Amino acid sequence: MRLLAYRLLLPAIWLNTVFGNQPSYPGIVWLGQVFFWISLLLASFVVTRAFGARSWPYVLLTAIVVSRFAVAVKMPGAQIAYSGSTFILFGAAGVLLAIHAGEILARQSRMFLLLSVPVLILQVAGTAEWLHAFNTLYAVPGLNEGEIARPEIRMLPLLFMSLDDLQSTRMSDFEEFFNWQVRPPGLTHSNAMLGIFILAGLVIHFGRMNGKWMTHEDWLFVCVVVLCGSKLALLGFILLAFWLYLRTGAELRRRLQRIAMALVFVLLAYALLFPAAIQQNLAAGAFEASFFLRGVDAILRIMPDVALRIPAVLDVINTYPVSFSDETSAAGGRLSGIATLVFGLPFVGIAALFGLPWIIKGTRYCRSLCPEGTRTAGLMVVVLIVTPLATPIFASQVYSLCAGIAFMPIACGFSAKLRRRLACESRENTRLAKPLDRD
């Protein structure tokens, strides 16, 4: 039953992200809520099954229920309490996933990305409008205040089409639809969320990787990173590979070198098939605009009074007025989670200093029993820092699960029960890995 809960948890979270983020289809948002509560129940079952003898899981679940009712009646501070308690619950579930269900995580991430490859190709090529049915980039402000509309989607023929050819022949719909089509959502609701799914799956793959030769899974991850057109996924892929390259042995280094050559090869093939898409997504100007927008967004949140007196900040706001409306310019933080990282990391650092003995203890213990899990946790820390630079993702269950996987060694340092569970899993994996004795 516990393994069934592990198998269902990730699909429930995925369906919640798809259906729960559809402002253009208010009639199906309730379906996202259903999958959210299913994922909440699954996470609650996993955590209470593991720590049922302790009181803290039940206190946590009570806090979630009470704060949810408080949110409904609009009590001050209720949303922070609700978000914090659900974050802890899914984070704890992530710790248990990392200990008990590493193979399930790897298998489901491979299947998700394998199914994404043909979908991404068809979405970029503009094969059919229905493939972008849940793409929230097509959700635009309606005629009435607060209304979200969805224009009639017109696909552009991007296969072998250059940017100049598109601008000269499809000007009527080029400006409106091109940028949305070249940033496909795959099997998610947005390109940004797809990038996070890809990086999380990549961490699980890199954490379990061994041997010097490339496999079909390596090619799968390279293809998905290129096809999604996400700067977050591409830069995150390079950063994770470089981080692993610095911290691993000669065999894996040779494999990572081959993966880097495969990335160059697939990028060249993508440029041949979709020249307009690669010009739009990976040109120097695209990176520059993306970085400037998020930098200004963070500055507006951190020091709004000072920011509005900086000429460079005003230039960016005037150049991209849609991204900085009057409603959000004072608060900022709409395009990325940089400001939240700036405010939150000092508190995380102070907590880490107080918990340093347990952190060292747990990391050493996990490194001796489960080196793959320790490597996965280290890589996932990189993802936790990188993904908020592109999008404010802190309230997502996906981010909470990733945090749990990243902090698994630290949690083992604090909990003797988790250390015993990790030791049992390690012995079981060792037993299964041994070849059968033959007479």
Is the model's pLDDT at 397 over the cut of 70? Answer: yes
| pLDDT tens digits, 5-30 | 999 999 999 999 999 988 888 888 89
Is the model's pLDDT at 222 over the cut of 50? Answer: yes
pTM reported for the whole predicted model: 0.89
SS (H, E, C) the chain: CHHHHHHHHHHHHHHHHHHCCCCCCCCCHHHHHHHHHHHHHHHHHHHHHHHCCCCHHHHHHHHHHHHHHHHHCCCCCHHHHHHHHHHHHHHHHHHHHHHHCHHHHHHHHHHHHHHHHHHHHHHHHCCCHHHHCCCHHHCEECCCCCCEECCCCCCCCCCCCCHHHHHHHCHHHHHHHHHHHCCCCCCCCCHHHHHHHHHHHHHHHHHHCCCCCCCHHHHHHHHHHHHCCCHHHHHHHHHHHHHHHHCCCHHHHHHHHHHHHHHHHHHHHHHHHCHHHHHHHHCHHHHHHHHHHHHHHHHHHHCHHHHCCCHHHHHHHHHCHHHCCHHHHCCCCCCCCHHHHHHHHHHHHHHHHHCHHHHHHHHHHHHHHCHHHHHHHHHHHHHHHHHHHHCCCCCCHHHHHHHHHHCHHHHHHHCHHHHHHHHHHHHHHHHHHCCCCCC
- Residue 438's pLDDT is 42
| pLDDT tens digits, 27-75 | 888 999 999 999 999 999 999 998 877 889 999 999 999 999 999 888 8
Is the model's pLDDT at 407 over the cut of 80? Answer: yes
